[in-house]
Amino acid sequence: MLAYTDQAKSSVELLREFMAEGSEAQGRKLTFSGVGNRDVYNICAPFLDRGEPVIAGRVEDRDKESSEVMFFVERRGEWVPRNGAPVFALQDPFFTFIAGELVFGGVEVYFDGDDPHYVTSWRTVFYRGASIDELELFAQGPLTMKDIRLIELGNGRIGMFTRPMMVEGARALIGYAEIGKLEELNEESINGATLLRLQFMPDEWGGANEAHLLEGGCIGVLGHIAWMEDNNIRHYYPMVFVFNPEDGRYTPIKLIAVRSMFPDGSAKRPDLEDVIFSGGLIRNGDGTASLYAGVSDAEAHVIDIPDPFLEYERLFAQR
């Protein structure tokens, strides 16, 4: 039987459980070129666009917060910008397919007019089209909300995960709602999501990064959970949980990777060294999955791990 959560666990407790299980998986850095001295990180997983695997990545100078999202294709072991592909003034790209149409998005950031390093606000924006060359803006989320993700459900409706900040005494919570079509994606429907209150401790936060429709109708959520210690040192861990849209219940959060499983490398700042930002997950069909992630806000890596949703599908099938 699926075990649904009845209380939140801290990041430290989840980390202790994950380390006790042990893992021999080791990640590898992806090589990006054609962007000068800028970093590429917080990538999404590869997806097919006109028959070719494409990765969207956040491209940014090491000492700046303003970034672009570019589309990359692999050439002789390196990921290079795709010729003629659009470039967006966004952060942290994501994608899904709804009714066969590409839905792409990212975070639009607003800076102070007198201080280009000072961020005043941000919001998630959404584009749609038959391919990346035909993407058109069609929706935007509320101010200060990241991590809004969509998934096409088996009944044709669209599931939506949200992440309002500073609600009910928590730094951030994940919400869930459903809409009938993309035209219903707006601030009102996003703000109307039901909150999942038993996921994060009040002083921690996280969000959904990608959603997978599982056998049996549940939704496998790839996300991140984070906490901050003294001197604003951040700790981000990739995590998963399973959400049942029939009754709104969800399983406990489970970590799937930590920084030590990836090669040593650069960090944007010292306070970001222990940051792994889940970008996307490819389920390989052989019991493994490939996690694509941003590392230390400076690099992009991939790691092959046991498929974290297989166990849930097997348990659901036994109900």
Q: What is the pLDDT of residues 152-181, one digit of tens each?
A: 999 999 999 999 998 878 899 999 999 999
Whole-number pLDDT of residue 217: 93
* Residue 19 in this model has a pLDDT that exceeds 70: yes
So what's the pLDDT on residue 75? 97
Phi, psi (5° rounding) for residue 250? -150, 155
State residue 167's pLDDT score: 87
Q: Which two tokens stand for residue 151?
A: 């998934």
Structure-block tokens of residue 279: 């970008």
Q: Scanning the structure block, which residue is given the tokens 């109900």?
A: 319
Tokens for 90, please give them: 């966004």
In this model, does residue 117 exceed pLDDT 90?
Answer: no
Find how far residue 33's CA is from the centre of its chain.
Answer: 23
Q: What is the pLDDT of residues 58-105, one digit of tens each?
A: 999 999 989 999 999 999 999 999 999 999 999 999 999 999 999 999
- pLDDT above 90 coverage of the chain, percent: 89
Rounded mean pLDDT, 105-132: 92
pLDDT digits (tens, 9 = 90+) for 143-159: 999 999 999 999 999 99
Q: How far apart are CA 285 and CA 283, in angstroms?
A: 6
Chain-wide mean pLDDT for the chain? 95
At residue 1 the predicted structure's pLDDT band, cuts being 50, 70 and 90, is low
Q: Is the pLDDT of residue 316 over 90?
A: no
Strands 233-243 and 274-283: parallel
Best CA proximity match to 280, nearest among 28, 46, 54, 90: 46
SS3 at position 55: strand
Instruction: Give the chain's end-to-end CA distance (angstroms, integer).
Output: 6
According to DSSP, the residues that pair with 109 across neighbouring strands are 122
CA distance 294 to 265: 12
- pLDDT tens readout for residues 180-219: 999 999 999 999 999 999 999 999 999 999 999 999 899 9
Candidates 224, 243, 244; CA nearest to 234 is: 224
- Are residues 119 and 109 in contact, defined by beta-carbon separation less than 8 angstroms? yes
Tokens of 299: 């690099």
pLDDT at residue 319, rounded to an integer: 64
Domains (range + CATH), the chain: 11-317 (2.115.10.20)
Instruction: Give buried/exposed letters for 156-170 (b at 16+ CB in 10 A, else e).
Output: eebbbbbbbeeeeeb
For the chain, the farthest-separated pair of C-alpha atoms sits apart, in whole angstroms, at 60
Which of 11, 2, 1 has the alpha carbon at shortest distance from 199? 11
